[in-house]
Chains A and B, each alone.
Chain A
Amino acid sequence: MLHLNVNILNAGVFGGSWRFPGTDGTASYTIEHYTSIAKKAEEAKLDAVFLADGPALDPGIKHRTGNNFEPTTVLARIAARTERIGLIGTLSSSYNDPVELARRLGDLDHVSGGRFGWNVVTTAGPVAARNFGRDGEIDHAVRYQRAAWFTQQVVAAWASRTRFASPQGRPVVVQAGGSSDGRRLASRVAEVVFSADQDLEHARAFRAEIRAGAVQFGRDPAEIVVLPGLSTVVGSTETEAKRRRELLDELLPDAYGRGRLAAQLGISLDGLRDDEPIPAGLLVEPDEAGGSQTFYRVVKEIIDRENPTLGTLLKRLSGGGGHRIVTGTPEQIADDIETWYRAGAADGFNVMPDVLPSGFDDFADHVVPELRRRGLFRTDYDGTTLRAHLGLGLPALEGAA
């Protein structure tokens, strides 16, 4: 069975989402934005809501709304207002204390009746680092060494917890970060992998690699759910969907798109005109990049393959960073989802609507029923926990065998 989460990325994945006609531009600064989308996701029987996060103010804030609520407080509130939907929150392994995090996340799992999943990330960038006493980003390899140690501490603390038991045993471990270090961590600890991929064959190989790696760690590959991010632009006709996409491209604040791309590639784009190609000579191999090697690779592959002008590339990414974008009718989007799913490129998707809430309303009202008609998606929840929705058992403790 296909798995679907909705990624409530503030106003939507597109950089111009907050400016979309009929959208309240600052709604994502109110808690109701998150609780009402979560309720809608529960009505649509999705597996979970997903919250990305980082402990810093996004330098692009001037031109694009940013994440601005801390995930455990948001998810504790959503838990109070919903009954079944899973609750996945991103919490940094780089800038948290493992004792504190294990307790807080374990308690959130208990409070929510066993619906919580922890997305382990290694926080990139100098801006977050400076909020924790550092002058710059921690080295990529060091971040991942710490992540492995950190996750082990947290999972062991959950396993030894008796006071506030959770119906799902312990929170589901989710992982995002697809560099070689990230893939190794995923094979070792992840029960759900949030990935980024533009290409079906690549995604298939990625999933196969994670599963094979899991076997090496003595795990059952069937106990890993791989969910690529999928940005959606839904229209009732193909023309309408394309128009929506074009409008979003127009609404993308140029300074935001350039700033984000420059940060992602770690190069300056100052002075480069929109009609000039990206100077490929400035790019290093992804394994040598800092920040996020995954998103670096995704963008570099587009540049290598298509040699786009800066303007074309900015439109192609539309401020979304590199997740795949599908634009079309509900049937066309369902076709795409079905193709990836049947090809073994994905166990489902972390759906990233273009604009929130409207893009998600369209997805829930039109794409989900189409997936149901094809027998790909549940008509109701079977269980009450996130583990049950994902079809996951309770894994043995790492190193305990």
Chain B
Amino acid sequence: MTVAFKKPESLLDAKTIYCPGCGHGVIHRLVGETLDELDLREKTVGVAPVGCAVLLYDYFNTDIIEAPHGRAPALATGIKRVKSDLTVFSYQGDGDLASIGMGEIMHAAGRGENITIIFVNNANYGMTGGQMAPTTLPEQVTTTTPKGRKTATDGFPFKMAELIAGLDAPVFSARVKITDPKNINKAKKAIKYAFGLQKENKGFSFVEILSACPTNWGKTPAEAVRWVGDAMESYYPLGVFKDIGGEE
């Protein structure tokens, strides 16, 4: 019998605590499949963020370290610098990466650390209950922007994939979404490419993934996915913003 579909070996056989319609489950799977396919499971250390994905070690069948809020790229830098044979990735949310951890991500990218960053953008703080994130859209209602995010006082969202692409050192920066099978496949391709670059010692790779947070958005999973595809995507265009992975 041909097995058409099975759990990646890089994931543990565990039930996640994520809300219905949350994107983390899909993204975990894509990273897990990637580690399997590139034969990296036994050489990987993942860095978990503070936030919904903090329990990464409950779901991944790889070594995992848990970082303080926003510091994952600094931990990843340390690990990679003393153990260059390991594959090191950080898995971070938007509050973690673009707010308190803006310094760490920009500098790890600026140094061109040979690591891979999985950046999950759901336009709010998920774990703490739906507050404004640096990625919250203008006019988006959150618990700390009850009348909608006002750019005059709250500022504009950060477009991280474009910011990273604007630096000299990174070799790959892209934005994908996981709203439907076609886009999930594209997301997988970007993630696999990013890990592949690290495996070939090419340098810093960054994948931003637009993902739904139905609970905090006050939407059904289906509505939330649609919102990713229209409101979020219109502000955060999909695409590859930098790819010099093939160049010498």
A and B together in one complex: no
Please list the residues of chain A having a beta carbon within 8 angstroms of any beta carbon in chain B: none
